[in-house]
Structure 1
Amino acid sequence: MAAAAYAAVISVRRVLEDFLHPARHWILLDTQHFRSLLQKVFSFQHFLEDYDALPVTSKSEAEDGVEGQLAKACYAVEDIIESFVSDQILASPNLQALDMILTRFSQDFPKVLQDVDFIEKKVVKIKGKMGVVKDQQPVNSLPVAGLSRRLAPVASNTMAGLDSHLFQMKKRLVGDEPKLQMVSIVGMGGIDKTTLARTVYDNPMIVQNFEIRAWVTISQEYNMREILLALLHVTETLFGDRKQEDSANNFANFVFLGVCPPELEKVGKQIAKSCKGLPLALVVIGGLLAKSQRTIVQWKYVAENLTSIINLGNEEQCLKILSLSYSHLPLHLKPCFLYMAIFPEDFEIRISKLIKLWIAEGFVNPTVTRSLEDIAMEYLGELIDRNLLIVSQRGILGNVKSCIIHNLLRDLRLREAPKREFPLYNKVCEYNWSSSQLAPFSKLLRVLNVQDNYSPEKIMLLVNSRYLHFAGNWPVNSRLTSSVSLLWNRETIIVRDCPRIILPSEIWEMTQLRHLEFQDIVLPEPPQQFGHVGLQHSYILENLCSLSTPRNFKFIEEVLKRIPNIKKMKITYRDDVECSESSYCIENLARLTKLESLTLRVYWIKSIPTECFSLPHSLKKLTLSGCRLPWKDTTIVGSLPKLEILKLEYDAFQGLEWNPSDREFARLKFLLIEAPDLEYWGVESTHFPSLEYLVLDDVDLKQLPWVLQKFTRFDLLNCTSLRNPFLNSVEQIKEERESLGYEELQVEVSCRWEW
């Protein structure tokens, strides 16, 4: 019940916040009641979070029933608001129809509010009981800062003043001392203790001498139970049978981080034996006991119940164990976990799509300081850490590109969703549904992800949908109407297989837009706006994260103000007799200070003037094509401090020689070069210190720069259309690297690099 209630509360919260946005001036209602309702929704959210954290023994069936009532009430509020907005938009400007819609809403909405008020009274009573329960909790389980999923900090490139300490640390760690040692680094804050520790941890000598290393970060305030639980989840990656003695030892380590207390040793061995050597069972049961009272009575109770699970058939046994894992998920992860059942069996899920869907469904709890995408990625990481999702593909930077679900976990989701009254399919359309089948659901449809073609007219009927992903197959220069701005909470529009589309200027009024992705769009300049009282104003698309692919996009002042948080852009420039290069204001790109990924393709005959080419320092990934800049101007790119992926496609730069400057491309890991006229590449030891992957496609280099044999991180070369002398130089570099003890250079010779 908790997952359904929490999902409903978070979802209706977002609906109300969208409804109350200043851009909704066309909604014909007094907003005071909705503001009051939003405060109640906030209260419900806090109640569910607190209630879920209580021990199971402190809850009752009657109280659990309130969660189901709360979910239904929130969905009812959501449906009536979205139905009203949909009816108003579709009926406008028919005044008689609008009057009927308002009358019907004024009759139905108070009934829903009565249900909310009734549930609120129940929640207040439960909160009173919860206060007593909280007061009775032991001191060592107070909710202080727990163990969060944090990456090990990245050490700086300099170790000024710490060289002697580094030498002493390495000497102690790889010395001949036979006994176990604990080496502490102590001192006041800010003296680079963490930098020293990280440098030692990553040192090649340490890596070579220690087969197993682990980096753990624990805050000054911590919760012992949370630490134990986090350690238990790490062990879930272990699979295979274990001997009885190993099971008992592992069990003790899981629960106590050491030796089992004498009074619990006998029953502990009984529990470990019941797990039949299955590491997953040991982890789950250990997690239960780590969070329960460590008494003989409690442990015997668990042992008896465990026997009933272990004696089931293999598949049923696994599902029961996995169900225990689900029940211990944090509340905010449960809706995301159950939602995964919408994907077909053995389906490879693109993470970029999954994140958009979670957000569209309202599962991601918004905060003021972080974007929904960042929060959703954190949710994803937590599910992966718990082995509830399996990573199937990673990107060049180690980021997760796609994942799959184990069939048993999918079965668990399908089993748990109806049991928890989680509305799995009421707002999600199956992949093989046609547009005609969707017609009856169009008014309240939230997510549309189909292979069918959709016309611009059909789009306007999906008033309340947040996520649209479909095939367009429209004629060239088709237009969306100005009424597109009335799609009040549209967040994602992705249209495939569609030639050039002309968007209306009203697209700039869609303040909830997060992702706008077309094959080729003409995006007009933002108009001057006038509100319903005649006051001039403009809307900021502060949620817009990705935009592709506008043609001949102008980075004028008015545009820059509208997209302050854009992170990903794909843009093209084609022959335009009406405009010169300077009119596109490409130099203003540098002012998009949150832009992380940029694809810029130019199809002009002449080159971009150097003075018109400027890039933001926030870029991590850059693809250039057709810019026709001289190689000496790569300094503009090489000076980007965060750049990690660079693709220089055809005619990005031109000339026979490329001589990079010192200390450029400091963090670059991936480099692709497509340059048929490039004959000499003057790489030196101070260039490209982080380079790992190099792709040379259709270049005329005589040889691979010899200095690359000293690049310790360089381990993959892909090349096409190269001469034998070049390939001979590659073999020589491979042999030299092997003689130096570096990791073997992987060389791939192919027709075309697929990325």
Structure 2
Amino acid sequence: MAVAAYASLVSLTHVLDNVHYRANHSRLHVDLKQIKSIQKGVNFLLDFLEVHYGRKDQKIEVLWRQIAETGFELEEVFDLYVTGQLQVPFSEESSDMGSKAFHDDLERLAQKIKDIERELSIVEKVVEDAQLGKQTRSSVVDGVSSTPASSRVKNKLVGLDEHVGRIMNALTKDEANLKILPIVGMGGIGKTTLAKKVFDDKCMVEHFDVRLWLSISQDYCVDDILHGLINEGKVEKSNAQLDGPGEALHKKLFGRRYLIVMDDMWTTGAWDDLRRFFPNNGNKSRILMTTRLSNVATCLCSREPYVMTFLDDNSSWNLFCQTVFQEDDCPFPELEQVGRKIVRSCKGLPLEITVIGGLLANSDMRKESWEPIAANVSSFGNASESEHCSKILLLSYNNLPLYLKPCFLYMRVFREDAEINVYKLVRLWVDEGFIKARETESLEEVAKGYLEDLVDRNLIIAREKDFLRERILSCGIHDLLRDLCLTESYKEHFMCSPRVQVVVKGGSVCFLCGSCVKGKETINIPIPASLFPPGSQGNLLFCGVCAVIYSHIKGLRMVMVLYSFLQHTKLRSVNVEVYRLPKFVSPPNVHWLWNLQTLSFWHLSDSSVVYLPSEIWDMPQLRVIEAKRVVFPNPPTSHVEEKDIFVLKSLHTLTTVLNFELTDAILGGIPNMRELGIRYNEVMKGSNACLGNLVGLQKLESLYVKGAVQLQNIAFPNSLKMLILRRCSRFQWKSLSTIGSLPNLENLMLWDTTEGPEWDPTEGEFLRLKVLIIVDCDLVQWRADQSHYPKLEYLELKNLSSLEEIPCNIGDIPTLHTIHLKECCKSVMDSAYKLWEEQESLGNDSLKVLVQEGVVDYSIYEFMALPLKDDGSST
């Protein structure tokens, strides 16, 4: 119960901060001394937990459970009181409504916290255990390898190279008809890793016209698989809407040589459901499958399946050393003997080796720290294969620092084989309240560090990185580790309150995640009649996953604050997905969702506009507001003495605001903005929208501006790292000095924004620029060399029909690794090829020149998340 207790307390700290802030600004009637007393008690319990969480005696387990229950009960008490206050105008008459009962509940729970503190203080040998706990915690948490997580080598396929060659040979044999090749082996042996290596190999890219990857898993849905292909842009949407996704896929594949990977097959049913969409073109098309079950492979293929074997001793040791030390052998002679003992105990299973390696890579590299782990791993020797693997994985989980455990266990909410967007995952961890605040970092920065740590420990898989290879874009979790998350969550009674909702209009969809509900699963929740919308039923529709996770729910306070959709007042994140709605007006009672941190409106039509009410300024805990077009209101009028009352102190992301007028009142209310997207239309023609005031946003890092017509008055803050200017009034190239002088600018996109035939950059500008993308301009001559963009890593030019050539000296920039050309004239491509040849002759074999056709449209988020895929021809 230590994890549930920790998660409960961390979540409660955010609620208490919200209550405290509201009370300080006369938005809530509470006794601040009482709140501060509870905060002090909660912080004591958190500190105690972080030191003693590894203790397993029965008495302290009971106290962990009491802490978790107290934390959740306190949140419930605050929710009941605050929502009651918000439903009536704040005044002297209404401020005492329910105050006595609220005060009494807080006194009772404050006393309960004191009782727990007293019980903890008399637990045997507290002082000695505290010192021992600090030492143990130091070795696990603080004794981190000197190699940062981001630099670790994650793609070594030790022992798999010979398998790759055999699979590729089998796939390219001269057999004209469609063939199936199954790869069989136990979980964790590397089937998916092998299939992915084959799938991405350059020879396979050149040999097959189309390559598609399908993750099947046990609980697969054909429509989900096919629609997933559509969403990834693999099948044209127009065809899919006309014919259905299966027929559209068939048309896509017909007459073309294709490779389909069907990963993680558990039954032949998935093949039976999908096979009719895979035409037999008689052109050596292939299906590659992975499965743990030999009988499935036998049923699907007349030939012998490809059986994955365990790694031999040498390959196992090599993989272990790559994982722990990023070297081919052990650099610490005193660790080799104990390390080889650990490797032998892993029995050649790659997943076990990498997970244990991830644990040891974060140790202090002392023999005394490794020996207890070796003893534990050796003790699993007599277990069955599946039990042995489970115990190895559990050992790694048990050795996680407490702050990482809630984030890891949360991975259970994602379906098997899901490809998880990292931006979304980090935000969910924050919204769920798992991240403990630090003075020097934002919650998102802390959460990103947690993700890197879990990837570094091989408990989460990094799947895709940005084109600079610096940031993870998507991740996943092995299904054996996901099973561990499920098992440990049940043991811990973890995740007791739903805080995230995906609102989807129409159809039978889950109340929480928005996915289709099969069999109309429901959970009976008693709901106060005064808060439930008239005429609605007290049963809520849940999907199978949410029905299991939240089966314990006893009650929710229901409101209808977003259009005609139902919410509950404990929500911290709402994602509204509505199609073909030209105007979405958020009602004024949206602030009843008083702990809401993320409000997103996606999948609205391109012409849709979201109108937010002025009550949005009464939600100081909001961190993210997103929509394609959102109209952001002016703050309510306040008296001079109340000038700080309407400040969205936590808001750091706001996109994309329509016709945003950056007045002093608005900018003063969003002082901590980091990502801002602005879009102007004809209504604002001739207005500068106070763009000169942008310089007042001293923490702004990412800015997207589209359609502005008065750029000569724009002023940027020095904190800016990413800038996108799209279809704005034209900058003269010589005027780019305003941008080039920004000291922290790393990423710049100029889209249909510049004019003039010549660009002669000034030396001493763009000193930290890493990414430069230029789209749609009349540039003819560009004179530049390595002194102008000394840190440039990625250059992209799109639709520059007048440009004569790329400056040849740009190739001398030592950091430049990619030049990407899209829809450029032949002379530009010729100059790029010449540049590449010159660099090759000088021994620079790291530079890539990619040529691609097609239209690519970037949003403010996609710009920094552009995957660098060689899906065009490269010179």
TM-score normalised by the shorter chain: which range applies? 0.7 to 0.9
The within-5 A match list for 1:111-126 is 111-126=108-123
Q: Deviations over 1:428-452 (max 9, x none)?
A: 533416899799599899x9999xx
**Per-residue deviation at 1:679?**
2.0
**One of 674, 679, 686 as aligned partner of 1:567:** 674
Q: Tell me the amino acid that sits aligned with residue 717 of structure 1.
A: I
Tell me: CA distance 1:719–1:18, structure 2 relative to 1, closer, same or farther (3 Å): same
Structure 1 CA distance for aligned equivalents of residues 98 and 521 of structure 2: 26
| Larger displacement relative to structure 2 (513-522 or 742-751) | 742-751
SS at match of 2:21: coil
Q: Which residue of structure 1 aligns with residue 852 of structure 2?
A: 749
Partner residue in 1 for 2:17: 17
Q: Which amino acid aligns with 1:70?
A: I
1:51 is the counterpart of 2:52? yes
| Cα gap change, 1:529 to 1:481, in 2 (>3 Å) | farther
- Pick closer, same or farther for the CA change 1:594–1:285 going to 2, 3 Å: closer
Map of 2:649 onto structure 1: 542
Q: How far is the alpha carbon of 1:672 from its aligned partner?
A: 1.5
Distance across 2 between alignment mates of 1:302 and 1:685 = 51
Deviation at 1:148, TM superposition (A): 5.1
Q: Distance in 2 between matches of 1:438 and 1:733?
A: 65
Instruction: Answer yes or no: is 1:727 the counterpart of 2:834.
Output: no
Amino acid at match of 1:133: D
Q: Given the alignment, which residue of 654, 657, 661 partners 2:755?
A: 654
Moved more, 313-322 or 420-429: 420-429
Instruction: Go from structure 1 to structure 2 and tell me whether the alpha carbon gap of 1:49 and 1:256 turns closer, same or farther (over 3 Å shift).
Output: farther
Name which of 620, 623, 627 aligns with 1:518.
Answer: 627
Q: 1:101–1:149: structure 2 CA closer, same or farther, 3 Å change rule?
A: farther
Q: 1:248 touches 1:272 (CA, 8 Å); kept in 2? A: no
Distance apart, 1:569 and its partner CA: 0.6
Alignment check: 8 A CA contact 2:2 2:64 kept: yes
Are the counterparts in 1 of residues 561 and 587 from structure 2 also a CA contact under 8 Å? no
Q: How does 1:95-110 map to 2 (within 5 A)?
A: 105=102
Distance (whole Å) between structure 1 residues aligned to residue 421 and residue 21 of structure 2: 31
Residue 97 (structure 1) shift:
11
Quote the sequence identity (%): 31
1:66-98 deviations in whole A, cap 9, x for unaligned? 112211121111122213323443477999999
Structure 1 position 276 matched with structure 2 position 347 = yes
**What is the alpha-carbon distance in structure 2 between the residues aligned to residue 671 and residue 268 of structure 1?**
46
- The question of whether the paired residues in 2 share the 8 Å contact of 1:247 and 1:282 is answered with no
C-alpha distance in 2 between matches for 1:139 and 1:341: 31
Matched, 1:463 2:579: no
CA contact (8 A) 1:244 1:272 kept: no
Are the equivalent residues in 2 in contact too, given 1:248–1:268 (CA < 8 A)? no
Conservation of the 8 A alpha-carbon contact between 1:149 and 1:382: no
- Superposition pairs of residues 568-587 of structure 1, within 5 angstroms: 568-576=675-683, 580-582=686-688, 584-587=689-692
Q: Which amino acid in structure 2 is aligned with residue 594 of structure 1?
A: K
**Contact 2:562/2:590, CA 8 A, preserved across alignment:** no
Cα 1:140–1:487 change in 2 (3 A) is: closer
Contact 2:149 2:453 in 1 (8 A): no
Identify which of 495, 506, 514 aligns with 1:423. 495
Find the aligned partners of 1:245 and 1:440 in 2 and give their Cα distance: 52
SS of alignment partner, residue 411 of structure 2: helix
Mapping for residues 190-205 of structure 1, pairs under 5 Å:
none
Alpha-carbon distance in structure 2 between the residues aligned to 1:245 and 1:105: 61
The change in CA–CA distance for 1:702 and 1:2 in structure 2 (over 3 A counts) is: same
Distance between the aligned counterparts of 1:295 and 1:92, measured in 2? 64
Check 1:34–1:424 CA distance in 2 against 1; reply closer, same or farther (3 A cut). Answer: closer
Matched-pair contact (CA < 8 Å) for 1:396–1:670: no
| Residue among 661, 676, 680 paired with 2:781 | 680
- Tell me: CA distance 1:364–1:746, structure 2 relative to 1, closer, same or farther (3 Å): same
The question of whether the paired residues in 2 share the 8 Å contact of 1:697 and 1:720 is answered with yes
Q: In the alignment, is the contact (CA less than 8 A) between 1:564 and 1:592 conserved in 2?
A: yes
1:509 corresponding residue in structure 2 = 618
Query: 1:407 is matched with which residue?
Result: 479
8 Å CA contact 1:492, 1:513 repeated in 2: yes
- In structure 2, the residue corresponding to 1:581 is in which secondary structure? coil
CA distance in 1: counterparts of 2:149 and 2:786, whole angstroms:
27
Which one of 320, 323, 327 corresponds to residue 391 of structure 2? 320
Task: Tell me by how many angstroms 1:45 deviates.
Answer: 0.5
114-123 or 70-79: bigger deviation? 114-123
TM-superposed CA distance for 1:50, in Å, is 1.5
Partner of 1:38: 39
Q: Secondary structure at the match of 1:21?
A: helix
Cα distance in 2 between the residues matched to 1:527 and 1:667: 40
Please report how far the alpha carbon of residue 422 of structure 1 lies from its aligned counterpart in structure 2 after TM superposition.
1.2
Mapped partners of 1:279, 1:338: distance in 2: 22
Asked if the contact 1:596–1:621 (Cα under 8 Å) also holds between the matched residues in 2, the reply is: yes
Provide the residue aligned with 2:693 in structure 1. 588
Q: Distance in 1 between matches of 2:674 and 2:733?
A: 27
Q: C-alpha separation between the residues in 1 aligned to 2:353 and 2:853? A: 47
Q: Relative to structure 1, is the Cα distance of residues 515 and 137 closer, same or farther in structure 2, using a 3 angstrom cutoff?
A: closer
**2:746 is the alignment partner of 1:644:** yes
Q: 2 CA distance for matches of 1:153 and 1:313?
A: 33
- Residue 704 of structure 2 is aligned with which of 599, 604, 609? 599
CA distance in 1, matches of 2:149, 2:354: 28
Matching residue of 2:163: none
Tell me the matched-pair count: 647
1:489 aligns with 2:595: yes
RMSD after superposition: 4.3
- In the alignment, the residues of structure 2 paired with residue 250 and residue 712 of structure 1 have an alpha-carbon distance, to the nearest angstrom, of 31
What are the ranges of 5 or more consecutive residues in structure 2 without an aligned counterpart? 151-309, 501-511, 533-539, 547-559, 858-865, 867-875
- 1:139-538 alignment, distance < 5 Å: 146-147=142-143, 240-243=311-314, 258-260=332-334, 273-277=344-348, 306-307=377-378, 309-397=380-468, 398-423=470-495, 426-427=498-499, 429-432=512-515, 440=525, 456-458=562-564, 461-473=567-579, 475-498=581-604, 499-530=608-639, 537-538=644-645
Is the contact made by 2:420 and 2:474 (CA closer than 8 Å) also made in structure 1?
yes
Q: Secondary structure at the match of 2:122?
A: helix
1:173 alignment counterpart: none
8 Å CA contact 1:517–1:549 kept in 2: the answer is yes
The farther-off stretch of 27-36 and 9-18 is 27-36
Is 1:86 the counterpart of 2:191 in the alignment? no
Match of 1:132 in 2: 128
Task: Decide which moves more: 741-750 or 276-285.
Answer: 276-285
- 2:663 maps to 556
What letter matches 2:397 in structure 1? Y
Under a length normalisation based on structure 2, what TM-score does the superposition of the two structures give?
Answer: 0.66
Gaps of 5+ in 1: 155-238
How far residue 60 of structure 1 moved from its aligned partner, in angstroms, is: 1.8
SS of residue paired to 2:142: coil
1:633 is aligned to 735
Partner of 1:208: none
Aligned partner of residue 815 in structure 2, secondary structure: coil
The Cα shift of 1:325 comes to: 0.3
**Partner Cα separation in structure 2 for residue 268 and residue 536 of structure 1:** 63
C-alpha distance 372-625 of structure 1, shift in aligned 2 (>3 A): same
> 1:372 Cα shift?
1.1
How far 1:554 sits from its partner (Å)? 1.9
CA separation in 1, counterparts of 2:495 and 2:368?
A: 39
Say whether the 8 Å CA contact 1:512–1:543 is kept in structure 2.
yes
- What SS is found at the alignment partner of 1:393? strand
SS of the residue 1:727 aligns to: helix
The equivalent of 1:197 in structure 2 is: none
